[in-house]
Chains A and B, each alone.
Chain A
């Protein structure tokens, strides 16, 4: 019988995995998004509104808001095409902050007072979504579409020259990532039963990126390791009391130094016998 403490941690990890995956999907086309917490927030508020005020069952509400977030992701993806690299990252940062500011001002959904009324969901339910989406992405990774993603990531111009529609791929990735982040948000809202705009700021966006990079930004299951570490480390470091956060920061730096590609990468993954080698 799993203790309630560990159950809570697993639920939190499940949600963070989705957040990390949302960044991973977009990053695989060479775009870094520092604003996915904005999509998470939109998903959280949307899902909560649907279950609390429109009386929808949770699964339907999640699907509806995932589609809504994905649509917004597509919309964001288009202007994002004009930017590259760190400038795109900064633009997404601005987007995330604007979304947070929007919710802070939206009194209809609680504003700074937050939104209540959600009914609790189980850790098992959360992980069904997590595993479902993780498996879906891993399957996607074996598909031709993923090769196109990687091609655009590696050299967009060349990809265009061989006939790939880089625009569709990049915008599509944004939409997909946004949808996943939206689901993470909806699950977050129904796990904690209270949301406020402060939950969805830059700190959260960076947490997603950290989980993706730390765990391994070239394979989807990296998100699992990254999310696990980010949730569990602060708990394991409790014994350090006043220096807990500093130790966490130091460990982050250390981990990035020792293994910059993240903990899981393609070779490690295949060596663990968990993946067939690419021919």
Chain B
């Protein structure tokens, strides 16, 4: 029997509507097999930060393999479910709901970007799942979303208090100019709210305080901004931007001959920025970088780097990033929580188990991170050691050590 085009399209319509309805039905949450410890992760594997998301994914896969090869957690298998949020807040929120509701995870590592965290953290509180970001450093994001939100990062305001004095002393800086990415919240916070105050405290004058120069994420041409900056004759430049954008600024600075020292926040840390203008010293805070001289950091890099480089979607010279280290530590913290609370992964105990994980994180003291001990502060941000590093001539070198907790690390 052949159908007329009319009937065809009607059938197609009905089928489409039916499919739509069916697909929206809540899927039966897969029965939690006895003895499965489930952790979730939200990373940006597609979109503008795809590389970070993909390295995060490989890092977590490595961790999952390691743990299960060593017998799992409390005898149960570890299962890490990773979702991609494409760095979009709406997708981050959806992913968290899915992990909390459908996948019934004990805790979540992620999201990465502050914009996504701002939207996902409230969901964490609504669903009662511990969520820890591996990268967000915009001031106050976790603090506004207690008790379930954490960040394994240090607030930029705290970092600036150590990086700026070093910058000022080392290069004898008396005046700076500020340029930043106006579309990015962390960059804007660093450039407009944090740095001016800290600079002033250190006796450095911000030359363009009433006309802070900005550009938009993704913009190619910052020649006008750099020319204006140069005309002010600053002894140093503050770049409030992520490293991909900072590369553009540095190259323009080099092109125009403004080769003065640069300082910024953690988003600058990368290997890409080292090749932008190698003769310009770049000072930034980091909680981890691939060529660090610490035993645990080195061991981590030694096992992760080959995996990253072997991956077809990643460039051959790639190195583990601060975010890989942070997410690795986070999931290890969760595992420690599960072990010490005796969580077995049986269904029915989920809410209690989640609360235990949260409490463990809240009271975390002296967890052995890759670069030093870590605790959490009441704000939800980490109390961990950080380093002021200087990038020049293609490499980072550690200059100073700081700690984000008042009483030391």
Residue A104 at the chain B interface, CB threshold 8 Å = yes
Given known A3-B101, A5-B102, contact A104–B24 (CB-CB < 8 A): no
Min CB distance B326 to A, Å, is 22
| A198 pairs with B24, CB closer than 8 A | no
Residue B323 at the chain A interface, CB threshold 8 Å = no
Chain B residues near A12 (CB-CB < 8 A): 90, 94
Min CB distance A114 to B, Å, is 6
Within the complex, which residue of B9, B10, B23, B91 is in contact with A234, where a contact is CB–CB below 8 Å?
A: B91
Chain A residues near B100 (CB-CB < 8 A): 4-5
Min CB distance B229 to A, Å, is 20
Q: How far is the CA of A9 from the CA of B95 in the complex (A)?
A: 10
Scoring B residues 48 to 76 as 1 if CB is less than 8 Å from chain A, else 0, what string do you get?
00100010000000000000000000000
Q: How far is the CA of A194 from the CA of B93 in the complex (A)?
A: 12
| B46 pairs with A3, CB closer than 8 A | no
| B20 pairs with A232, CB closer than 8 A | yes
| B23 pairs with A242, CB closer than 8 A | no
Q: How far is the CA of A272 from the CA of B102 in the complex (A)?
A: 34
Q: How far is the CA of A263 from the CA of B17 in the complex (A)?
A: 10
Q: How far is the CA of A171 from the CA of B124 in the complex (A)?
A: 43
Q: How far is the CA of A89 from the CA of B84 in the complex (A)?
A: 33
| A5 pairs with B98, CB closer than 8 A | yes
Chain B residues near A198 (CB-CB < 8 A): 115, 183
Residue B350 at the chain A interface, CB threshold 8 Å = no
Q: How far is the CA of A238 from the CA of B91 in the complex (A)?
A: 11
| B93 pairs with A8, CB closer than 8 A | yes
Q: How far is the CA of A202 from the CA of B123 in the complex (A)?
A: 26
**Which residue of chain B lies nearest to A104 when distances are taken between CB atoms in the complex?**
B182
Chain B residues near A7 (CB-CB < 8 A): 97
| B9 pairs with A113, CB closer than 8 A | no
Within the complex, which residue of A2, A194, A235 is in contact with B118, where a contact is CB–CB below 8 Å?
A: A194
Within the complex, which residue of B23, B46, B184 is in contact with A236, where a contact is CB–CB below 8 Å?
A: B23
Counted as pairs of residues, one from A and one from B, with CB atoms less than 8 Å apart, the total is: 108
| A242 pairs with B13, CB closer than 8 A | no
Residue A68 at the chain B interface, CB threshold 8 Å = no
Within the complex, which residue of A111, A193, A228, A234 is in contact with B20, where a contact is CB–CB below 8 Å?
A: A228
Scoring A residues 1 to 45 as 1 if CB is less than 8 Å from chain B, else 0, what string do you get?
111111111101000000000000000000000000000000000
Chain B residues near A235 (CB-CB < 8 A): 94
| A232 pairs with B23, CB closer than 8 A | yes
Chain B residues near A199 (CB-CB < 8 A): 89
| A6 pairs with B24, CB closer than 8 A | yes
Chain B residues near A238 (CB-CB < 8 A): 83-84
Q: How far is the CA of A6 from the CA of B102 in the complex (A)?
A: 9
| A272 pairs with B26, CB closer than 8 A | no
Scoring A residues 178 to 222 as 1 if CB is less than 8 Å from chain B, else 0, what string do you get?
000000000000001110111100000000000000000000000
| A112 pairs with B84, CB closer than 8 A | no
Residue B188 at the chain A interface, CB threshold 8 Å = yes
Chain A residues near B25 (CB-CB < 8 A): 6
Residue A253 at the chain B interface, CB threshold 8 Å = no
Chain B residues near A275 (CB-CB < 8 A): none
Min CB distance B256 to A, Å, is 26
Chain A residues near B119 (CB-CB < 8 A): 192-194
Residue B126 at the chain A interface, CB threshold 8 Å = yes
Min CB distance A112 to B, Å, is 4
Residue B45 at the chain A interface, CB threshold 8 Å = yes
Min CB distance B218 to A, Å, is 12
Q: How far is the CA of A244 from the CA of B90 in the complex (A)?
A: 16
Min CB distance A262 to B, Å, is 12
Scoring B residues 96 to 137 as 1 if CB is less than 8 Å from chain A, else 0, what string do you get?
011011100000000000010011001100110000000000
Within the complex, which residue of A1, A6, A244 is in contact with B84, where a contact is CB–CB below 8 Å?
A: A244
Considering the complex of A and B, which 10 residue pairs feature the smallest CB-CB distances, nearest first? A112-B188, A3-B26, A194-B118, A4-B101, A5-B97, A5-B98, A3-B101, A8-B97, A4-B97, A193-B122
Other A-B pairs, 19, CB within 8 Å; known A199-B89, A271-B6: A5-B26, A6-B24, A6-B25, A8-B94, A9-B94, A12-B94, A112-B184, A112-B185, A112-B188, A113-B189, A116-B144, A193-B119, A196-B118, A198-B183, A225-B16, A234-B86, A244-B46, A245-B47, A271-B13
- Contacts from B to A (Cβ < 8 Å): 6, 9-10, 13-14, 16, 20, 23-27, 29, 45-47, 50, 54, 83-84, 86, 89-91, 93-94, 97-98, 100-102, 115, 118-119, 122-123, 126-127, 138, 144, 182-185, 187-189, 313
- Contacts from A to B (Cβ < 8 Å): 1-10, 12, 104, 111-114, 116, 120, 192-194, 196-199, 225, 228, 232, 234-236, 238, 241-242, 244-245, 263-264, 268, 271-272
**A–B complex contacts, Cβ < 8 Å, 26 sampled:** A4-B127, A5-B26, A5-B97, A5-B98, A5-B100, A6-B25, A7-B97, A12-B90, A12-B94, A104-B183, A116-B144, A192-B89, A193-B122, A194-B89, A194-B119, A196-B115, A196-B185, A197-B183, A198-B115, A232-B24, A234-B91, A236-B23, A245-B47, A263-B16, A268-B9, A268-B13
